[in-house]
Amino acid sequence: MAAGTDCGRVVFESDVYLLKKEKAEELKSEKEPQAGPGPEPEQEPEPEVPVSSTAGETPETGETEKGKRPVKISGSIPPELWNRLGTKVIPKLRDGEGLEVNVSFSVSMNADSATSVERELRQIIEDLGITDNLKIE
């Protein structure tokens, strides 16, 4: 057996990805600072979500009586951006008081598979310990 061989054991870890050597070198070179002005790396645009801050405000300043201003975000979020929203937006809002997050999922599916999906969803919600917070219709 060669040195470094792991007897066939497979380990799965979140946020660990296998890359080809060429791709890893390409990513490393992108992170190194470039001398002088150069093109900025492309970034995926953040989802535009309307921000409303009207509840409890005084008309002239937009502040509440306690010197605080409510911020409310609402709108539709593409499923592929859900994780990014959770890792970028929620931490920004945690500094405030009384953070409340509400969700609404809606999908149309085949009646035959809907029953089993509902059962699986109920189990997931129970495993997360949030059965009192969510309902499945």
User: What is the rounded average pLDDT of the residues 4-20?
Assistant: 66
Number of domains observed in the structure of the chain: 2
Whole-model pTM above 0.85?
no
pLDDT of residue 64: 55
Is there a single domain that holds both residue 95 and residue 54?
Answer: yes
**Is residue 21 domain-resident?**
no
**76 part of a folded domain:** yes
Integer-rounded Cα radius of gyration of the chain: 23
Domain that includes residue 122, residue range: 103-137
114 and 137 belong to one structural domain: yes
* Residue 87 in domain: yes
Residues 88 and 128 in one domain: no
User: Does residue 29 belong to any structural domain of this protein?
Assistant: no
pLDDT, tens digit, for every residue of 51-76?
A: 444 444 444 445 555 688 888 888 88
Per-residue pLDDT for 83 more than 80?
Answer: yes
Instruction: Specify whether the CB–CB gap between 85 and 101 falls below 8 A.
Output: no
Same domain, 79 and 107: no
pLDDT band at residue 109 under the 50/70/90 scheme: very high
